[in-house]
Structure 1
């Protein structure tokens, strides 16, 4: 009995943390936004899309009624300064693979914030895919992890 209870407790965090959405052959895994300090006007968002289908799709846009402007960006670092450029053609999701806003300096940029985003909040959004169409999701606002902070400049 003790072993069974221990096994169930080990599985509990996984199921509690599960946060995914499905649209056809696409699985959108764990959309999240990093909490912001007071007065911040932007927040970074991340997610992974797994494409189990036979054809490529593309994430074209992210929309939210809560946050007026959301863009997808790619960052490059030159001389210790991160520069962001909007992903004009969206994020390709190859057939049989996954793609993340969070890989190779990519992220969603939630802009023109009117208030601080705090851990525990949920931000409703819609992901617009080229083929899968519009998919409602919820971005969880999560605590900022300990990581190196870099300066960002928009081009």
Structure 2
């Protein structure tokens, strides 16, 4: 049994317990990444994309290299930044998570993008999301989460960021 196979059920159970408790800002921790304040913005019928938000804190330096969700045909890590007078958004292939530092995925900055949604994401439901990380040795790990869907950031999430949380490895 690999490390990922052992931890994934723990993480899923912890994420489910946090969700069942109704506390979207609950803190969950796995072997190497803490996820806090995670959530996905609700959509309206016909809307094809939405954002996912959270705070990530790696115990050892890791790189977020991917995101997957069965709710969307395309899932990416995105960056928003000013280029001159224009705010630009683009997919990025990797996001560094320095050891012990919190990296926030929030509106107007780094965030998850779920595109080509298969159905509207309704407030009060949950969305399965898998985060993919690489360590310094190039080993891939995955963190399976169920993120709450909301119109605004859950209580306890960063008020300025309007975002949410999870853990990995």
Give the shorter-chain TM-score range: 0.7 to 0.9
Measure how far apart 1:48 and its partner are.
0.9
SS in 1 for 2:72: coil
- 2:38 — aligned with what? 31
**8 A Cα contact 1:123 1:138, kept in partner:** yes
When the two structures are aligned, how many residues end up with a matched partner? Answer: 130
Please show how residues 4-153 of structure 1 align to structure 2 within 5 Å: 16-51=23-58, 53=59, 55-78=60-83, 81-88=86-93, 90-102=94-106, 105-131=109-135, 133-144=141-152
- Bigger radius of gyration, 1 or 2? 1
Residues 82 and 36 (structure 1 numbering): CA distance in 2 closer, same or farther, change over 3 Å? farther
Measure how far apart 1:103 and its partner are.
7.0
Give the number of the structure with larger relative contact order, counting CA–CA contacts within 8 Å between residues 6 or more apart: 2
**8 A Cα contact 2:69 2:114, kept in partner:** no
* TM-score normalised by structure 2 residue count: 0.67
